[in-house]
Amino acid sequence: MRFLLLLLLLPGLAWAAPDGADPDGRDIVLHGNSNGALPCAACHGANGAGNPATGAPALAGLPAGVITADLANMAKGQGGTPLMQSIAQALSPAEAQAVAAYLSGLPKP
């Protein structure tokens, strides 16, 4: 099952991780990563629909390039809350792209 999922995601990930270690965007969204990135779903919702209670905007269905650009800016300390900046910093570029590819594939809320 996991293998099938990877196959589905592969076209989007192949260019994202030239080193061959494809990060699992869905896994990072739901569980965070081992580098201290908190699960995006905790604030942005499991389906990426956003959550007024946490102030986290919807990410589902946004173009992947918009999400990666936002994350890259926040990782540089430009825009976002300090917490969101530290989460962006905890993602490798390949992980940020995998997360963006997964979120952009979710239906818009």
Whole-number CA gyration radius for the chain: 13
10 sits near ligand HEC (criterion: CB under 6 A): no
CA dihedral of residues 53, 37, 21, 26 (deg, nearest 10): -20
Among 5, 14, 78, 81, binds ligand HEC (CB under 6 A): 81
What is the residue whose two structure tokens read 């490798």? 92
CB of 16 to ligand HEC, least distance (A): 14
54 sits near ligand HEC (criterion: CB under 6 A): yes
84 sits near ligand HEC (criterion: CB under 6 A): yes
> Restricting to residues 85-104, which ones interact with ligand HEC according to CB under 6 A?
87, 91, 99
Exposure on the CB side of residue 14, measured as CA atoms within 13 A = 4
With vertex at residue 48, the alpha carbon angle to CA 52 and CA 9, rounded to the nearest 5 degrees, is: 170
Among the listed ranges 7-15, 16-24, 67-75, the one in contact with ligand HEC (CB under 6 A) is: 67-75
> What is the token pair recorded at 59?
């990410």
Footprint of ligand HEC (CB under 6 A) = 28, 37-38, 40, 42-44, 54-57, 59, 67, 70-71, 80-81, 83-84, 87, 91, 99
